[in-house]
């Protein structure tokens, strides 16, 4: 299970503060095991790409907070208190806000520094003595992938519960959901991009219907370079330019 990094618990602080060398796993994930309690194992995980993303998010939050409080010294105590109340409703900003004894609003440099130490890290706790630190980390990562799959089916694929009564229909519905998610994952892994970006690009490929005295036909739009690259990575041929040629009715 994951332990909250900002929980303030003595065990979490001890685990994060314990020195030790990381072991690198495939995919760039780095792990190290620390012992801080009898019968409990803690594994600190660090991912460089996540660390860079966390740092960028924090920089944007600090910049936004700085803009909000830049002119706050000129406000009346009441208006300054109102501004502090507004900031307190935004947890991402509030944790970097400091109020001086005189009631002035400042960016908390110590909080920013402490937050930087958590970039790209998460803490795992396990009571299993047989698992290695790598197995604990990879097992939790697999759990995260399962949870991501459920979110993607509900939000990305927009699948909703369908209430079946017959067993064969229930099984068919589950298989269709699984196949849809599998297709998304295959495309993401093959193209090294997100499903949202891939779908956005492929949706530009349209099929138009045309009719006239000589008959009717359907013709696709030109394939862009980006679409051609996606199809190539997936091993798919470009769709035919012309489809469904229909002669005029006699």
Tens-place pLDDT, residues 135-152? 878 777 777 777 777 777
Do 93 and 68 contact (CB within 8 A), yes or no? yes
Checking if the pLDDT of 172 tops 70, the result is yes
In a domain, 202, yes or no: no
The model's pTM is: 0.57
In a domain, 154, yes or no: yes
Pair (127, 231) in one structural domain:
no
Q: What is the pLDDT of residues 89-124, one digit of tens each?
A: 998 899 999 999 999 999 999 999 988 888 888 888
Strands 207-212, 121-126: pairing is unpaired
Pair (43, 96) in one structural domain:
no
Pair (138, 148) in one structural domain:
no
In a domain, 103, yes or no: yes
The average pLDDT across 192-204 equals 88
Pair (54, 102) in one structural domain:
yes
DSSP 157-223: S--------SHHHHHHHHHHHHHHHHHHHHHHHHHTS-HHHHHHHHTT--EEEEEETTEEEEEEPPP
Where does the pLDDT of residue 7 fall: very low under 50, low under 70, confident under 90, or very high at 90 and above?
Answer: low
Boundaries of domain holding 154:
144-195
Pair (165, 190) in one structural domain:
yes
Pair (67, 106) in one structural domain:
yes
CB neighbour list of residue 128: distance below 8 Å, 6 or more residues apart: 41, 136
Lay out the sheet containing 40-46: strands in order across.
Answer: 2-3, 121-126, 40-46, 30-37, 23-24
How high is the pLDDT of residue 249?
75
CB neighbour list of residue 48: distance below 8 Å, 6 or more residues apart: 28, 30, 120
Tracing tokens 């980006």 back to the chain, one arrives at 226
Pair (68, 28) in one structural domain:
no
Tokens of 89: 């409703």
In a domain, 201, yes or no: no
Pair (148, 138) in one structural domain:
no
Tracing tokens 């519905």 back to the chain, one arrives at 173
What share of the chain in percent tops pLDDT 70?
96
In a domain, 200, yes or no: no
Q: Which long-range contacts (CB under 8 A, 24 or more apart) does 63-69 make?
A: 64/93, 65/93, 65/96, 65/97, 65/107, 66/107, 68/93, 69/97, 69/105, 69/106, 69/107
CA 33 to chain centre: 25
In a domain, 12, yes or no: yes
In a domain, 132, yes or no: yes
Q: Which long-range contacts (CB under 8 A, 24 or more apart) does 105-111 make?
A: 105/69, 105/72, 105/80, 106/69, 107/62, 107/65, 107/66, 107/69
Give the HSE-up count for residue 3: Cα atoms under 13 Å, Cβ half-sphere: 25
Checking if the pLDDT of 221 tops 70, the result is yes
Tokens of 75: 């406000």
Pair (64, 109) in one structural domain:
yes
Pair (33, 54) in one structural domain:
no
Pair (189, 212) in one structural domain:
no
Single out the residue in 175, 195, 215 at which a domain terminates.
195
Pair (23, 72) in one structural domain:
no
Checking if the pLDDT of 187 tops 80, the result is yes
How high is the pLDDT of residue 49?
86
- Overall domain count for the chain: 4
In a domain, 148, yes or no: yes
Where does the pLDDT of residue 15 fall: very low under 50, low under 70, confident under 90, or very high at 90 and above?
Answer: confident
Tokens of 132: 């290695």
The average pLDDT across 185-202 equals 88
């Amino acid at each position: 299970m994951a332990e909250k990094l900002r929980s303030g618990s003595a065990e979490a602080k001890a685990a994060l503060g314990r020195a030790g060398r990381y072991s690198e796993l495939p995919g760039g994930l780095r792990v190290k095991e620390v012992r801080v309690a009898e019968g409990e194992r803690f594994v600190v995980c660090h991912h460089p790409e996540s660390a860079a993303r966390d740092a960028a998010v924090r920089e944007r939050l600090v910049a936004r907070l700085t803009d909000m409080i830049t002119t706050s010294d000129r406000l009346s105590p009441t208006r300054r208190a109102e501004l502090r109340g507004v900031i307190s409703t935004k947890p991402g900003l509030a944790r970097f806000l400091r109020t001086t004894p005189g009631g002035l609003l400042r960016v908390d440099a110590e909080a920013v520094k402490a937050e930087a130490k958590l970039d790209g890290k998460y803490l795992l706790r396990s009571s299993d003595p047989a698992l290695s630190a790598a197995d604990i980390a990879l097992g939790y990562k697999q759990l995260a992938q399962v949870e991501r799959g459920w979110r993607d089916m509900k939000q990305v694929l927009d699948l909703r519960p369908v209430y079946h009564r017959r067993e064969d229909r229930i099984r068919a519905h589950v298989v269709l959901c699984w196949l849809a998610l599998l297709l998304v994952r295959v495309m993401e892994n093959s193209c090294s991009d997100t499903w949202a970006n891939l779908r956005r690009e492929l949706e530009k490929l349209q099929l138009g219907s045309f009719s006239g005295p000589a008959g009717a036909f359907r013709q696709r739009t030109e394939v862009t370079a980006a679409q051609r690259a996606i199809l190539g990575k997936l091993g798919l041929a470009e769709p035919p330019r012309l489809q469904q040629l229909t002669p005029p009715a006699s």
